[in-house]
Chains A and B, each alone.
Chain A
Amino acid sequence: MTSGHARLLRDMVRIRVVEETLADYYRDEQQMRTPTHFSIGQEATAVGVCAATTTRDWVYTAHRSHAPYLAKGGDLKAMVAELYGKQAGCAHGRGGSIHLVDRAVGFAGSAAILGEMIPVAVGTAWAFARSGEPRAAITFFGDGATEEGVFAESLNLAAMRRAPVVFVCENNLYSISSPIGARQPAGSTIRDRAGAAGVTAVQVDGNDVFAVHDAARRALRHCWEGRGPYLLELATYRWREHVGPGFDHGHDQGYRPVGETEGWMARCPILRATETLREQDPDIDRTVAEWRVRFDDEIQSAVAYAKEQSFPDVEALLDGAYQPVPR
């Protein structure tokens, strides 16, 4: 199969292996003491979009940060060490899962208040445009964040300033336990609200990594060519509960219908991409299995590494509040 397509599938498999492993350690050992919002099920959105970027394009995300961080090329060991609260973490134990950062690859930061990284990306994009370089800023957020006033403000501001920003909405139908039907009126879509604000916007099957990737390439080209902002509304679904390693659709949990969740799991982005590529690579199951072994080794090493790293020095608690800390 073509290396481009293989890469997309491979990156999704890596994220899935990493996240499922971390979820188990998180639950069983209670050593990653920070709220963690796993990306399981939402691999295609992150991979499809980030694969269309260069390191000069910056990505901002909200709380569900792991898949975009890894898809952008973020350092896995630094991410895991951060979850364990170690000095070797990407934010030196001051950020946790919700404040990941890896500037070397253009992962500019994640933050936790719903919607707050949306205008930040608009500002960075505008700064890029001012410099004259063909660079874009991308911001990931969920359907819940689109109800925040700052979302509407940011669409308007981006359109007015013609900012090269790609708004990536991962519409997974839920805001914690609240279904989208309880929050947004029937007959309106996020795509339409963006369009009404003067932003080019499309809806894409967020679990089809190839469709996401194609749409992202169009969006980025739109930005690089100075044609202004773009919004991708990607339909997807998270498999686990909003925060934490558990499932929330079992008969005894009950806030997402069992049938609904199982239906989405059957339309797994990885399974779908595997089937799409089977014709190109009849041996694809073995390829994927080999990847899984490789990535399992990788994540186990990263966890072992994180565990043996030291915690930040308590004496340095105040460092970095005002003055830069040496690297």
Chain B
Amino acid sequence: MRTLTYWQAISEATVQCMEADEGIFIAGEGVDDVKGTFGTTKEAFARFGASRVIDVPNSENATAGFAVGAAAGGLRPLLVHTRADFMFLALDPLVNLAAKWRYMYGGDKGGVPVVTRGVVGRGWGQGATHSQSPHATFAHYAGLYVAAPASPADAKGLLVQALTGDTPVVLVENRNLYPLTGEVPAEATGIPFGVGRIARRGDDVTVVATSLMVHEAERAADQLAERGISTEVVDVRSLRPLDERIICESVARTGRLVVADTSWARYGFTAEVAAVVAEHIPHVLTAPIRRLALPDCPAPVSWPLEEAFHPGAGGIVEACLRLCGQTQGDLPALADVAAGFQGPY
């Protein structure tokens, strides 16, 4: 199988789906510009042009409502937010209409399969309002599917599934994953929502992670192996639906759980995973659940503050060591994932 970067996988999925279904169109601010949303919409614009890759005015609310109406009229919108933080402006159409359309009109009048991609811009001082990942916000609401692909293959597979399914979807993409390479199937095959994967098998501790934290957990697992700790990394892939079974099966075997997220702990992904384990298999835990998430403040800008703010492989290592009764000792600190990022944004 050939290797693609995460962003190439998104572009390929987009183009293949648009080729197969004339009803798919892309709408977003600047999706047709020379950068092409970090390369992800460039090829689509080159192939399909302005009639299907549409630069919209700076109107996130109306654009999402427009997408709902277009979907009701039989088309398949793919909304793209170059900055996921702007998705808060689209909350009403996505949460109050797209998520609820099928149900509130009786369940038998069809739904509105609006797909939204939100790019999370962590790194290089993006700051309080330009580095958020709203996955937990959207995952709260019944009627949506929400996913955060962590590998190039999943970036393609989940987007294909979204563009060929019947449910409105929010896909959250962390920019730090964009240069990652991985094997990606050539065909446009969907990966079902609600099914996680074991990114790495292990026996001593489970790290349940989402998005960038999957990558960070794998880096942490490499270092933990030097200490004889075998780490199982569970990539949930979807936040809604959540694959409770894969989480519980892993924790039932290891008895130790670290949950790692790129967003805040309170009312977030880590809270949900901890609740699932506490509800179903509390008796298997040999130590309290550890949650690795953002500290309780908005994102700072200054580099040392930012490094302290964002959780990463180092924090996962420390949490796993503690659960296994060990300390950091002379283990070298792992470099930040955004180290080496070439600015400007």
Q: State in angstroms the CA–CA spacing of A111 and B95 once bound together.
A: 13
Q: Is the CB of A123 within 8 A of B72?
A: yes
Q: State in angstroms the CA–CA spacing of A27 and B62 once bound together.
A: 37
Task: Give the total number of A-B pairs whose CB atoms are below 8 A apart.
Answer: 142
Q: Which of A103, A113, A122, A124 has the most CB of B within 10 A?
A: A124
Q: Is the CB of A119 within 8 A of B66?
A: yes
Q: Is the CB of B105 within 8 A of A116?
A: no
Nearest-CB distance from A96 to chain B (Å)?
Answer: 9
CB nearest neighbor in A for B96:
A113
Q: Which of B59, B104, B109 contacts A103 (CB 8 A)?
A: B109
CB nearest neighbor in B for A120:
B69
Q: Is the CB of A109 within 8 A of B105?
A: yes
Q: Is the CB of B103 within 8 A of A320?
A: yes
Q: Is the CB of A95 within 8 A of B69?
A: no
Q: State in angstroms the CA–CA spacing of A125 and B70 once bound together.
A: 8
Q: State in angstroms the CA–CA spacing of A316 and B143 once bound together.
A: 16
- Chain A residue numbers with a CB within 8 Å of B143 are 321-322
Q: State in angstroms the CA–CA spacing of A130 and B66 once bound together.
A: 14
Q: State in angstroms the CA–CA spacing of A149 and B92 once bound together.
A: 12
Q: State in angstroms the CA–CA spacing of A126 and B74 once bound together.
A: 11
**Which residues of chain A in 91-141 are interfacial with respect to chain B, using CB atoms and an 8 Å cutoff?**
91-92, 94-95, 99, 101, 103, 108-109, 111, 113, 116-128, 130-131, 137
**Which residues of chain A in 293-327 are interfacial with respect to chain B, using CB atoms and an 8 Å cutoff?**
319-322, 324-327
Q: Which of A91, A321, A326 has the most CB of B within 10 A?
A: A321
Nearest-CB distance from A325 to chain B (Å)?
Answer: 3
The verdict on B102 contacting chain A, using a C-beta distance below 8 Å, is yes
Q: A113-B92, A157-B62 are in contact. Are A120 and B106 (CB under 8 A)?
A: no
Q: Is the CB of B62 within 8 A of A319?
A: no
Q: Is the CB of A157 within 8 A of B106?
A: no
- Chain A count of residues within 8 A CB distance of the other chain: 46
Q: A136-165: contact bitstring with B at CB < 8 Å (1 yes, 0 no)?
A: 010000000000011001101100100000
CB nearest neighbor in B for A112:
B96
Q: A109-B105, A320-B108, A321-B142 are in contact. Are A123 and B61 (CB under 8 A)?
A: no
- Chain A residue numbers with a CB within 8 Å of B73 are 58, 123-124, 126-128, 137
Q: A157-B59, A324-B110 are in contact. Are A99 and B105 (CB under 8 A)?
A: yes
Q: Is the CB of B102 within 8 A of A91?
A: no
Q: Is the CB of B69 within 8 A of A124?
A: yes
Nearest-CB distance from A3 to chain B (Å)?
Answer: 32
- Chain A residue numbers with a CB within 8 Å of B116 are none
Q: State in angstroms the CA–CA spacing of A149 and B263 once bound together.
A: 29
Q: A122-B66, A126-B66, A137-B69 are in contact. Are A157 and B56 (CB under 8 A)?
A: yes
Q: Is the CB of A123 within 8 A of B167?
A: no
- Chain B residue numbers with a CB within 8 Å of A324 are 102, 107-108, 110-111, 166
Q: Is the CB of A127 within 8 A of B70?
A: yes
The verdict on B120 contacting chain A, using a C-beta distance below 8 Å, is no
The verdict on A90 contacting chain B, using a C-beta distance below 8 Å, is yes
The verdict on B295 contacting chain A, using a C-beta distance below 8 Å, is no
Q: Is the CB of B65 within 8 A of A94?
A: no
Q: A116-B97, A150-B62, A157-B59 are in contact. Are A326 and B69 (CB under 8 A)?
A: no
- Chain B residue numbers with a CB within 8 Å of A89 are 106
Q: State in angstroms the CA–CA spacing of A325 and B111 once bound together.
A: 11
Nearest-CB distance from B70 to chain A (Å)?
Answer: 4
Q: State in angstroms the CA–CA spacing of A194 and B112 once bound together.
A: 28
- Chain B residue numbers with a CB within 8 Å of A325 are 106-108
**Which residues of chain B in 4-54 are interfacial with respect to chain A, using CB atoms and an 8 Å cutoff?**
none
CB nearest neighbor in B for A60:
B69
Q: Which of B69, B74, B97, B101 has the most CB of A within 10 A?
A: B69
Q: Is the CB of A94 within 8 A of B96?
A: no
Q: State in angstroms the CA–CA spacing of A95 and B56 once bound together.
A: 32
Q: Is the CB of B68 within 8 A of A157?
A: no
Q: Is the CB of B108 within 8 A of A327?
A: yes
- Chain A residue numbers with a CB within 8 Å of B107 are 92, 94, 319-321, 324-325
In addition to A111-B96, A123-B67, 14 A-B residue pairs with Cβ atoms within 8 Å of each other are A89-B106, A95-B105, A101-B106, A119-B93, A120-B93, A122-B65, A124-B69, A125-B69, A128-B73, A320-B102, A321-B102, A324-B108, A325-B108, A326-B108
A-B pairs with beta carbons under 8 Å apart, 26 shown: A91-B104, A94-B104, A94-B106, A94-B107, A95-B106, A119-B62, A119-B65, A120-B68, A124-B69, A125-B69, A127-B69, A127-B75, A149-B61, A154-B62, A154-B65, A157-B56, A157-B57, A320-B102, A320-B106, A321-B102, A321-B143, A322-B142, A322-B167, A324-B102, A324-B108, A324-B110
What 6 A-B pairs come out closest when comparing CB atoms?
A320-B107, A123-B69, A119-B65, A127-B73, A325-B107, A153-B62
